[in-house]
């Protein structure tokens, strides 16, 4: 939406009021037509793929952790830190995400166990983030409503660059958990966590704190950094892949629209990144049909790609494409990257964004 | 007071599936379980406004298409965040190949 005013990203401010008033909040979103029978097949759950991937994941985590302990004090530790860091600090994000949706495994408790472990690795309150993610799906990149907008406008490029180091996220996540453990939820958090669930968020934060306190105690008792390098600190040194892939989900695209083809990006990625990211590179597809498990997203992509903007062929391509857009947003925050649709696609709907496209989109 | 209405023919619903039924300005969801029994609930999720008929039936669970909230469609029980409010259920009977629900 073209706005003369600065965007207000708080969830209880002016943009929130406007989004509710104009009907942008909780709106009806565009979906590509997929026959019910086909969609039913795509939505089918099974434990097999996620059990296989989770076994590989756990073995790789434990193996690289063993390497860190074994080679502690030598340079041989570096590749193990690299692998462990990415598994702990980055791949946990996609596990958190998919299991939060309940789509990774068919069996519910398996989703829940991995969800809680991954939430801990990410320093995310599992209760708070379940609700914030529900809001992200209801109001994707609606300013004043979406609690998970990674890069706000005008973009803070230093902050975005620092995100790769994990420092800012760490500085935000840990104090947030401490505050919540003391029983305080912010106004923004209260705006999307229902009252009856708020005490659960406090209890979850306390559990996380207990584990961190125990880790620190063990580190002191052993007079060793190893426990902290294995628990907690990977959130710093292993976050870069999560940021590398995750930033591309929505950065530089439209906001305040109700069509995921305009505000979400699908990027083709290499198989290793796709394993770490659990196919979330098919992000338009995921937002349109969050019921489809990660392992069925490539199939869904093939089925509906005629109706979607062409995916970026690589992460490099996507970043190169978005960089000039970000630079321009520094001056004109209404500017965004317009995704062209193929001739086979249904056109964008008018009610919220026809005018925006012509007014603010790329020349 | 009971008010039985015809919702659909038995064959309109696949096994382990759900369809939407609109009547008198209200929306219902009609389920056929894997054991070939029929059930009915309100058509909209209790979390936000999403048609449960677009969701996925697994055993005795209906999963909402919007945020994957899960209900037991036989009892209406909400199975945890993001669904916290139970779903209203309706009595169902099958007569002469027709699925009838009591919306009274
Ligand atoms: S609308 Fe059904 S779970 Fe959110």
Most A CBs within 10 Å: which of B68, B69, B83, as the mutation test of the A interface? B68
Q: Which residues in chain A touch residue B48, judged by CB atoms under 8 angstroms apart?
A: 26, 138
Digit-coded pLDDT (tens) for A72-101: 999 999 999 999 999 999 999 999 999 999
**Ligand 1: which of B82, B84, B85, B86 to mutate, most ligand atoms within 8 Å of CB?**
B82
Residue A362 is predicted with a pLDDT of: 44
Q: Is the pLDDT of residue A28 over 80?
A: yes
Nearest CA to ligand 1 atom 1: B48
* Among candidates A44, A102, A197 on the partner chain, residue whose Cβ is nearest the Cβ of B84: A197
Q: Which residues in chain A touch residue B49, judged by CB atoms under 8 angstroms apart?
A: 26
Rounded distance between C-alpha atoms, residue A136 and residue A290, angstroms: 12
Question: What is the CA(A305)–ligand 1 centre distance, in A?
Answer: 26
Strand-pair category, B98-102 with B61-63: unpaired
Asked whether B47 lines ligand 1 (CB < 6 A), one says: yes
Asked whether B82 lines ligand 1 (CB < 6 A), one says: yes
Q: Is the pLDDT of residue A283 over 60?
A: yes
Query: How many CB pairs (< 8 A) connect A and B?
Result: 45
> CB neighbours of A362 closer than 8 A, spacing ≥ 6?
A325, A335, A336, A337, A338
Q: Is the pLDDT of residue A114 over 70?
A: yes
Q: Is the pLDDT of residue A361 over 50?
A: no
Q: Is the pLDDT of residue A350 over 80?
A: no
User: Over chain A, what is the mean pLDDT?
Assistant: 94
* Among candidates B65, B79, B82 on the partner chain, residue whose Cβ is nearest the Cβ of A134: B82
Mean pLDDT to the nearest integer, A231-242: 96
Digit-coded pLDDT (tens) for A43-75: 999 999 999 999 999 999 999 999 999 999 999
Q: Is the pLDDT of residue A134 over 80?
A: yes
Digit-coded pLDDT (tens) for B16-64: 999 999 999 999 999 999 999 999 999 999 999 999 999 999 999 999 9
Q: Is the pLDDT of residue A356 over 50?
A: no
Task: List the one residue out of A241, A207, A24, A23 whose CA is nearest residue A119.
Answer: A207
* Domain-wise residue ranges, chain A: 14-362
Please state, for a pLDDT cut of 90, what percent of chain A lies above it: 93
Residue A355 is predicted with a pLDDT of: 44
Rounded distance between C-alpha atoms, residue A175 and residue A189, angstroms: 14
CATH number reported for the structural domain that contains residue B64 in this entry: 2.102.10.10
Rounded distance between C-alpha atoms, residue A265 and residue A276, angstroms: 18
Q: What is the pTM of this model?
A: 0.93
Are the C-beta atoms of B40 and B89 separated by less than 8 Å? Answer: yes
- pLDDT band of residue A349 (cuts 50, 70, 90) is confident
Are the C-beta atoms of A329 and A156 separated by less than 8 Å? Answer: no
Residue A39 is predicted with a pLDDT of: 96
Q: Is the pLDDT of residue A281 over 50?
A: yes
Residue A353 is predicted with a pLDDT of: 54
Question: Residues of B numbered 60-99 whose beta carbons fall under 8 angstroms of chain A's beta carbons: which are they?
Answer: 63, 65-68, 70, 79, 81-82, 84
Question: What domain range includes position B74?
Answer: 4-102
Please state, for a pLDDT cut of 70, what percent of chain B lies above it: 100
- pLDDT band of residue A264 (cuts 50, 70, 90) is very high
Residue A4 is predicted with a pLDDT of: 55
Digit-coded pLDDT (tens) for A177-221: 999 999 999 999 999 999 999 999 999 999 999 999 999 999 999
**What phi and psi, each to the nearest 5 degrees, are found at residue A218?**
-65, -40
> CB neighbours of A360 closer than 8 A, spacing ≥ 6?
A2, A334, A335, A336
Digit-coded pLDDT (tens) for A139-184: 999 999 999 999 999 999 999 999 999 998 899 999 999 999 999 9
Asked whether B69 lines ligand 1 (CB < 6 A), one says: yes
B17 reaches A (C-beta below 8 A): yes
Structural domains in chain B (count)? 1
Peptide bond into A151 cis (omega under 30): no
Digit-coded pLDDT (tens) for A298-342: 999 999 999 999 999 999 999 999 999 999 999 999 999 998 999
Question: What is the CA(B47)–ligand 1 centre distance, in A?
Answer: 5
HSE at residue A293, side-chain half, CA atoms within 13 A, is 23
């Amino acid at each position: 939406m073209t706005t003369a005013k600065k965007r207000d990203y708080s969830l209880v401010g002016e943009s929130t009021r406007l989004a509710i008033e104009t009907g942008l909040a909780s709106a009806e979103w565009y979906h590509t037509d997929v026959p019910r029978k086909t969609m039913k097949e795509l939505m089918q759950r099974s434990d097999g793929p996620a059990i296989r991937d989770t076994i590989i994941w756990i073995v790789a985590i434990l193996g690289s952790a063993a390497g860190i302990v074994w080679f502690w004090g030598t340079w041989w530790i570096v590749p193990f830190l690299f692998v462990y860091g990415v598994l702990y600090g980055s791949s946990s994000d996609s596990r958190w995400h998919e299991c939060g949706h309940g789509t990774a495994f068919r069996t519910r408790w398996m989703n829940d166990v991995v969800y809680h472990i991954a939430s801990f690795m990410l320093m995310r309150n599992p209760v708070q983030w379940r609700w914030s993610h529900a809001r992200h799906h209801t109001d994707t990149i609606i300013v004043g409503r979406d609690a998970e907008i990674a890069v706000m406008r005008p973009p803070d490029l230093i902050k975005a660059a620092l995100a790769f180091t994990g420092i800012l996220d760490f500085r935000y996540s840990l104090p947030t958990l401490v505050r919540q453990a003391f029983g305080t939820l912010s106004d923004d958090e209260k705006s999307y966590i229902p009252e009856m669930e708020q005490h659960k968020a406090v209890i979850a934060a306390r559990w996380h704190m207990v584990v961190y306190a125990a880790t620190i105690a063990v580190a002191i008792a052993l007079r060793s950094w190893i426990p902290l390098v294995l628990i907690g600190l990977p959130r710093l040194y292993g976050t870069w892949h999560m940021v590398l892939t995750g930033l591309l989900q929505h950065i530089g695209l439209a906001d305040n629209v109700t069509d995921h083809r305009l505000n979400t990006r699908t990027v083709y990625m290499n198989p290793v990144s796709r394993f770490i990211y659990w196919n979330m590179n098919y992000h338009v597809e995921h937002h349109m049909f969050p019921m489809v498990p990660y392992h069925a997203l490539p199939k869904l992509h093939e089925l509906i790609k005629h109706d979607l903007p062409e995916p970026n062929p690589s992460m490099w391509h996507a970043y190169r494409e978005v960089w000039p857009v970000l630079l321009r947003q520094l001056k004109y925050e209404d500017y965004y990257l317009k995704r062209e649709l193929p001739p086979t696609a249904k056109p964008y709907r008018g009610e919220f964004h026809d005018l925006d496209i012509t007014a603010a989109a790329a020349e | 007071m009971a008010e039985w209405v015809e919702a659909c023919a038995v064959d309109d619903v696949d096994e382990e599936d759900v369809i939407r039924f609109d009547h008198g300005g209200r929306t219902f969801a009609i389920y056929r379980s894997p054991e070939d029994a029929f059930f009915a609930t309100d058509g909209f999720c209790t979390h936000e406004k999403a048609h449960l008929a677009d969701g996925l039936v697994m055993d005795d669970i209906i999963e909402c298409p919007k945020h994957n909230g899960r209900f037991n469609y036989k009892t209406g029980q909400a199975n945890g965040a993001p669904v916290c409010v139970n779903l209203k259920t309706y009595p169902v009977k099958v007569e002469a190949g027709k699925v009838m629900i009591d919306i009274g």
